[in-house]
Amino acid sequence: MPRPSVEAERRPQILAAACAAIASMGVPALRLSDVSKQAGVSSGTIHYYFETKKDVITAAFEFNLTDSLARRHELLASGKDSLAILHDLVDSYLPSDDLSVRAWKVWLALWAEGSRDPVLQEINERLYGQWRDVVAGVIGAAQGEGTARAGDPVLLANMLIGMLDGLAVQVLLESSSMTLATMRETCQAFVSGVIEG
């Protein structure tokens, strides 16, 4: 099998490096030279794919959200019942390993930057909307299987996602009262006590 072209690999490599740099230093301090160093490529290579720092940041946010969604779609194909998938989705959302912590830090940067940038707001609306649709779809499927209580699956998804988002911020800020274990226990208790039928 022929090796994919370097060109096909380079853009994702740069965007993964941009996400790592954003997670470690934030957007305001980020320079394209930081991205090129992280990616192990020249600044010229960065400029071949992206004209400006804003272009890199915008593409990196979209890359991060798309990658996160792709990892969640793997859980949907697990063959488990919908309630078990919902519990797995909750666990997958926790900032519990290097990859998920990095993704969370990029999300936090997106939300901060997006509060002032309509392009980032659109990316968040579109891709985060897909995440809401995934969670609402799983809740609706669990309701159809008889393992979840009746109720508006979109409302329940918004409640669960709001809880996950808020608690994850506290975990990332290393709150002494909101550890990763406490976050998991709280969110899983919500699924078991409020959604599960």
Task: Tell me the pTM.
Answer: 0.89
* Distances 107 to 69, 97, 126, 132, 162 between C-alpha atoms, Å: 13, 15, 14, 15, 14
- Alpha-carbon gap, residue 7 to 41, rounded angstroms: 13
DSSP the chain: -PPPPHHHHHHHHHHHHHHHHHHHHTTTT--HHHHHHHHTS-HHHHHHH-SSHHHHHHHHHHHHHHHHHHHHHHHHTT---HHHHHHHHHHHHSS-SHHHHHHHHHHHHHHHHHTT-HHHHHHIIIIIHHHHHHHHHHHHHHHHHTSB-SS-HHHHHHHHHHHHHHHHHHHHTT-TT--HHHHHHHHHHHIIIIIB-
Q: Is the pLDDT of residue 3 over 80?
A: no
Residue range 20-25: mean pLDDT, rounded: 96
Instruction: Decide yes or no: CATH 1.10.357.10 for domain 61-195.
Output: yes
- Alpha-carbon gap, residue 191 to 143, rounded angstroms: 13
The pLDDT score that the predictor gives to residue 1 is 40
What value does the CA radius of gyration of the chain take, rounded to a whole number of Å? 18
The pLDDT score that the predictor gives to residue 5 is 66
Chain segment 48-82, per-residue pLDDT in tens: 999 999 999 999 999 999 999 999 999 999 999 99
Q: Can you read off the two tokens belonging to residue 120? A: 């980032």
Cα distance between the two ends of the chain: 49
Q: Is the pLDDT of residue 125 over 60?
A: yes
Give the model's confidence band at 87: pLDDT under 50 very low, under 70 low, under 90 confident, else very high. Answer: very high
**Domain residue ranges in the chain:** 61-195
Chain segment 134-176, per-residue pLDDT in tens: 999 999 999 999 999 999 999 999 999 999 999 999 999 999 9
The pLDDT score that the predictor gives to residue 10 is 92
Chain segment 100-120, per-residue pLDDT in tens: 999 999 999 999 999 999 999
